[in-house]
Structures are given as C-alpha cells and as structure tokens.
A and B are shown apart, each in its own frame.
Chain A
Amino acid sequence: MTDSNMHAAGTTMTRATRYGIASLALYFLLYFFEDSVLEFTSRGGWYFIAPVVIAFVFSYFHGAFTSYFWDTLGIKAKK
C-alpha cells in the first residue's frame, strides 16, 4: 500500500511538472510576442476566434497543472 501511494504521488508529481512546463511555455510565448498577439486578437470581427482559442488552450494546460499542483501538495477533496 505504501508503495502504491508513493507511486501515485510520483505520477502526480510527473504530471504536474509536465503540464507546468507546457503552461510556462505558453506564457513565455505570450510575453515574447505580446504586441503581435494583442494586435491580432483585438482586430475584431471574425478574429474573435483567436482569444477564444487561446483561452481554451491556456485553460487546458494550466488547468491540468494547477489541479496536479494542489494534489502534489496533499490538498485534496474530502472523500
């Protein structure tokens, strides 16, 4: 049982790291291409799709990261 708990903890940590790196990469891209991204997403009209897609992509990677992050710290829901 102890082994399986340690294994689960290890898996959570690995996933947190993987999604954390992906999330960090996305924010770096946003920082480095700030002006271009802002200009592209604020064109209006059919370009409305750009902020929506960006929001979905960020929420997928960063959402998974934050979930695993609290799991790694042992902060979990009451069963």
Chain B
Amino acid sequence: MNKNKKIKRTLEIIPGAISWGIIIFFVAMSVFKPVACAILVIIFCFYWIIRTVYLTTLLIMAYRKLALQKDRNWLEDCQNLSPHKNWQRIYHLVIFPVYNEGLDVLRPSLEALKQSHYPKDKMIIVMAFEERNRDCRDKASCLEDEFKGAFLHYLSSFHPDGLPGETRNKGANATWAAKEAKELLDSHKIPYEDVLISCFDADTCPDKEYFACLTYHFLTSAKPHQASYQPMPVYNNNVWYAPSFARLVEISASFCQMIESIRLEKFVTFSSHSMSFKTLIEINYWPTDMISDDSVVYWKAFLFYNGNYRVIPLYITVSMDMAYSSNFFKTIWIQYKQKRRWAWGVENFPFLVSRLLNNKNISLANKIRRPFNLLESHVTWAVWAVIITVIAPLPILLGGAFFAQMPIGYNLPRVTGLLLNFTLGTSIIWILLSRTILPPRPKDVKWIKNIVLIAEWIIVPLIILLLGSTPALDAQTRLLLGRYMQFQTTRKWRKK
C-alpha cells in the first residue's frame, strides 16, 4: 500500500474508531468504574441540555429569518439593484440528476420551475438521466414534449454507465450533465461567470422566488464566485401523507440545516444547492467516485480557494419528498438507508484532511478547525443517542450493590431524568416550529391530522436511537472496515 493510500486508510479509520472508542470506554467504565462513568454521563447530559438550548435558540433565529423573508419579492429587489449589477445578465442552469424517479416525481419539479417568477428565458434546464435506466429515454421524451418550450433551453442528458474513474452515483451523472450544458453555453457564447448552476434532487420543488433570491445574493455578496448558496430544505411535497416517524425525522433534518445556517463556520452544502458555474468548472465539477457529492463539491472549492470559500445561506425553501414506503417496516428501512447515506458524509473527513496535509496556503487554524468541526459533528451524531439511551442506565445495571449504595448510584437516574426533562421546553419549541413550516392541509386529509402532527413527537425518544445514531455508527463502521458504500437512490413515490 503506497503512502497516500495508507494515509487515506488511517484517516478513514479515525471517525469510527473514536465513536466506537467512546462507546466501549463508557461500557468498560460502567463495569469497572461505575462512579466515574456515572459522573461522565451526568456531565454529558448537562452538556447536552445546554447544547440543545443553544441550538434551539439558533433554530429560532434561523426560523425568524426564514419567516421574515418568506414573502419578500426578490425579483423586485434584483430590479432595484444598481444598473452596474445588471441582474439580467445572470442565467440559471438547473440540473436534475435522475435515476429511477417516475414522472409523478419529475413533473412537479419542472412545474415548480415553470411557476418560478424568474424570467424563464434566463433558465436552462438539464434533465440528467442514467443511460442504464431502461425507460430513461421514454421519460425524457415525455418531459421534453411538455417542457421544452418553457425555458431558454431544455435538454436531456444520458450518462453512460461504467466510465473509467467513476462509480454509480449522483455526482458522476451531474458532472456529465454539466459538461453537456457547458457545450451548450459555449455554443451560445454565454460567459460562465454569468451562470449560476443549481444541482437539485429529482424531487426538488424550489420556491417561486428562489432564483431571484439566488441572483440577489450572488450580485450583492463579496467574492460571489467564492461561495455556494444553500437554501433551506424542507420535505413538504408529501408531508401530510407520510408516516409519523418519517415526518419527524425529515423535519428534524430540516431544522438541523436551519441551525447550521447560523453556524457559518461549519456550514457546508447539502442536497440541493447552487454555486457559480465558473467555480464548478475550475474545481473540475462534482466528484464522480464519491457518494456525498453535495458536500464534497464544497470542500473541493474550499481547497481550490485555499480556505477562502464559504456557504451563504438562502432563507428560502426548496421542497422535497419524504422517503417512505407502503408499510411501516419498509419505511423504517428506507429511512435508515437514507440517513446512513447522509452519514456517509463522514467520507469527507479523509478527503479533506489528506488534501489539507499537502496544502501550504491554508492557515494552520483552518487546517485544524475545519477537520475538527467535521469530525466532531459526525462523532457526536453517532454517539449522543447511544450515551443517553443505552449508556446512561449501565452504571446502575452493571455497577453492583456497592454502586447502588452510593448517593450517585441512587441519584444518577433522577439527575439524568431531571436534566433531560429540561429538554421538554425545547421540544415544545420544535413542535410549534414544525407546525408552522408545513404547507396548507390538503382537502383529502382530515382535520384530525393536525392533532396527530403534534402528538407524534412523543415517539421521538423511540426513534432517536434507531434513526439517529445507529445509521451514523453504521456508516462510520463501514468506512472503518473499508466496506465502502454504493450509492442507493431513495425511492420516492407520491400518493396517487
């Protein structure tokens, strides 16, 4: 194994080793040093309460920004910009990587673009199909017939399978589509600097003001090419029809993104996002051999610009589908796989660190801080629910009669219970906010669903371990063992 591969493998082992190390450490402590373990559990619970309160406050701040800008007329703001900004020179290139999504998913996404307030003659749409999908050409043809004339350009690309250096993932498909779009831009002599590219999931329905909002931020930000633009993802396309726990998990994911939008130094791109097409070309597009292309593209740009690259949050929503299936257990499995795929973003850690080691232009502070933040977020994701639900009772179960005779043995469940009861207040805030980001109730959904949407939060303690930490631990363990994941699309389907 050459040196680079050794470094890469070592870095791949680190996140899983730390996570498992923490868990094993706690378990061993609960057997051999239950008092010390109990102390650590109490410290962790107290830290977690404060962290929850802190993050919930950030959530309120982000939500407030989203609410304040909800009805803002971004197109008008663009029009009111000074003439030298010239918003009308900006084109929007939108790529939808598609695999096996049906027309019932693709059509609403394109309809949402049609409904956009931004001038359609400034929009170029690329539906990026995988050639290996048998009915891709039929779907492409169907959509072309419907939407071809609605935009400046509409084209379908067909990504061949098995190209050298590629694995089967969304990034490879998107890159192929972007290269085809580049040829189109070249043929029309549209400068790359004036093109903003948005890579959307196949089920993404952006807000009507999204592209105007994006244009405005691009034109008013310092060094706009040195930024990605991240909207707030919500999963509202089928929220009223999804099972309770799927809804809770996806709403929590939306909230996490909103929280991250305030923590700018940790903010990276996720799922549907936008960036300068010029920058995308300079960094050689998305990775074609990694699953977490949405975040790796950010790190590529970060490295390219020697750390002078950031994500600008757009407080405007893009709506996607919740992942669920026809029955309870299939839905759990789908959700689990999706969360595991998200957690596979831990592959960013070895990617980033191995390149930072060779980069002499990025400050030492950044070289330490960014990987640390990345590592800390993934390790926390993997262990926090395990510590609170599984580890916390262990000193009492395994500590023996001696531990039970001590005040800490007696107080541990009461102290942790009391501390965690404080999170009830933050839970209420999350419940209230979750209600406000939902779209209006469809007519075929009964009113009682409003009550269900509030009451279902009671099952959060049951799902935090299953769909919280476990997928993250699974992903990190696979990386640790070198069992690399293959990209698996999340099956999306809409209620007919």
Bound together: no
